[in-house]
Structure 1
Amino acid sequence: MKFRLFWKILFGFWLTFICIVVGIWVILTINGAPHNNPMEIEFERSFAEVQLASASAAFHLDGENGLLTLIESWPEKERLRLSYKRLPNKLPDGVITDSIQDKIVVANKMEKPDLQESRVYSRVEKLPDGTFIRLTYNTAKMGQGKKLGPSGVPPELVIIGILGGLIFSSLLAWYLIAPVWRLRMGFKQLTNGVLNVRLKPFMGRRRDEIADLARDFDLMAQRLQFLVESREQLLHDVSHELRSPLARQQVAIELARQIPPRTPELLDRIELETVRMDELVGELLILSRVESGEIVTDEYFDLQELARIIVNNSQFESEQDKIQIKLHSSTITETASSLTVRGDAELVRRALENVIRNAVRHSPCEASVDVTLFAYNDKKTCTITVEDHGPGVPSESLKQIFEPFVRLKKSNSHSTGLGLAIAKRAIVVHKGSIYAENRAGGGLSVFITLPLETSEVEESKD
Structure 2
Amino acid sequence: MKNTFLRVFLVVLFSNMVVVAIGLGVVDFVQDKDQVSADVLGDVGVDLVSIYEKSGTSELQAQARIYEQQLQGSIYIYQENGRPLLRPLPRNFREQSALDSEADSEASQAAADARRSQFIQVIGASNTQYLLVFRPQDNSDEVSPWVISLLSLLGLLVSSAILAYWLMGPLLKLQKITRSFGQGDMTARVDSRLVKRNDAIGNLAREFNEMAGRIETLLSSKERLLRDVSHELRTPLARIEVALTIAEDKQGQEAQQNYLDRIRNELHELDELIGQVLTLSRLEAASMQKEQMDLQSWLSDIVEDVQFESQLKGITITKTGSSPKALHGDPVQLRHSVENVLRNACFYSGEGSTVQVEVSEVDRRAIISIKDNGPGVADEMLEKIFHAFFRSSSARESNSGGFGVGLTIAKRIIQAHNGEIQAFNRPEGGLEVKFCLPIS
Distance 1:107 1:391, change over 3 A: same
* Conservation of the 8 A alpha-carbon contact between 1:363 and 1:390: yes
Deviations 1:272-306 (A, max 9, x none): 122112212222233233334422353534x3333
Please show how residues 10-409 of structure 1 align to structure 2 within 5 Å.
48-52=40-44, 88=54, 90-92=56-58, 98-100=78-80, 126-128=124-126, 178-180=199-201, 182-183=203-204, 186-187=207-208, 190=211, 261=253, 262-296=255-289, 298-301=291-294, 303-320=295-312, 322-329=313-320, 331-332=321-322, 339-364=325-350, 366-376=351-361, 381-409=365-393
Please show how residues 441-456 of structure 1 align to structure 2 within 5 Å.
441-451=428-438
**Distance across 2 between alignment mates of 1:341 and 1:39:** 74
Aligned AA for 2:381?
Answer: S
Aligned AA for 1:389?
Answer: N
Distance 1:310 1:325, change over 3 A: farther
Aligned AA for 1:444?
Answer: L
Alpha-carbon deviation of 1:179?
A: 2.1
Q: Which has the higher helix share?
A: 2
* Conservation of the 8 A alpha-carbon contact between 2:318 and 2:355: yes
Match of 2:173 in 1: none
Deviations 1:384-411 (A, max 9, x none): 2211111111222212222222211232
**Distance across 2 between alignment mates of 1:380 and 1:187:** 34
**Distance across 1 between alignment mates of 2:52 and 2:364:** 107
Alpha-carbon deviation of 1:350?
A: 1.0
Match of 1:435 in 2: 422
Alpha-carbon deviation of 1:185?
A: 6.3
Deviations 1:102-126 (A, max 9, x none): 899966999x9x99xxxxxxx9974
* Conservation of the 8 A alpha-carbon contact between 1:106 and 1:124: no
* Conservation of the 8 A alpha-carbon contact between 1:97 and 1:105: yes
| SS of match in other structure, 1:407 | coil
* Conservation of the 8 A alpha-carbon contact between 1:105 and 1:126: no
Aligned AA for 1:384?
Answer: I
Alpha-carbon deviation of 1:85?
A: 6.2
Aligned AA for 2:427?
Answer: A
**Distance across 1 between alignment mates of 2:43 and 2:262:** 120
Distance 1:43 1:449, change over 3 A: closer
Alpha-carbon deviation of 1:430?
A: 3.3
TM-score by length of structure 1 reads: 0.48
Q: Give the number of equivalent residue pairs.
A: 294
Alpha-carbon deviation of 1:319?
A: 4.2
Distance 1:104 1:297, change over 3 A: closer
Alpha-carbon deviation of 1:433?
A: 3.0
Distance 1:91 1:124, change over 3 A: farther
* Conservation of the 8 A alpha-carbon contact between 1:379 and 1:452: no
Gaps of 5+ in 1: 1-23, 29-37, 57-81, 116-122, 131-171, 196-223, 454-462
| SS of match in other structure, 1:406 | coil
Select which of 412, 419, 422 maps to 1:425: 412
**Distance across 2 between alignment mates of 1:380 and 1:285:** 33
Deviations 1:308-351 (A, max 9, x none): 3333332343345x24132233x43xxx6x83333322112211
Gaps of 5+ in 2: 1-22, 62-75, 90-101, 107-120, 129-165, 168-196
**Distance across 2 between alignment mates of 1:273 and 1:231:** 26
* Conservation of the 8 A alpha-carbon contact between 1:105 and 1:125: no
Alpha-carbon deviation of 1:367?
A: 4.0
**Distance across 2 between alignment mates of 1:287 and 1:323:** 32
* Conservation of the 8 A alpha-carbon contact between 1:384 and 1:449: yes
Alpha-carbon deviation of 1:363?
A: 2.4
* Conservation of the 8 A alpha-carbon contact between 2:57 and 2:86: no
Larger radius of gyration: 1
Question: What fraction of aligned residue pairs are identical, expressed as a percent?
Answer: 30
| SS of match in other structure, 1:411 | helix
* Conservation of the 8 A alpha-carbon contact between 1:380 and 1:451: yes
Distance 1:293 1:392, change over 3 A: farther
Alpha-carbon deviation of 1:48?
A: 3.3
**Distance across 2 between alignment mates of 1:349 and 1:99:** 109
Deviations 1:74-129 (A, max 9, x none): xxxxxxxx9x86964654377686442x899966999x9x99xxxxxxx9974349
- Name the Cα RMSD after superposition: 5.5
**Distance across 2 between alignment mates of 1:445 and 1:230:** 37
Aligned AA for 1:353?
Answer: E
TM-score by length of structure 2 reads: 0.50
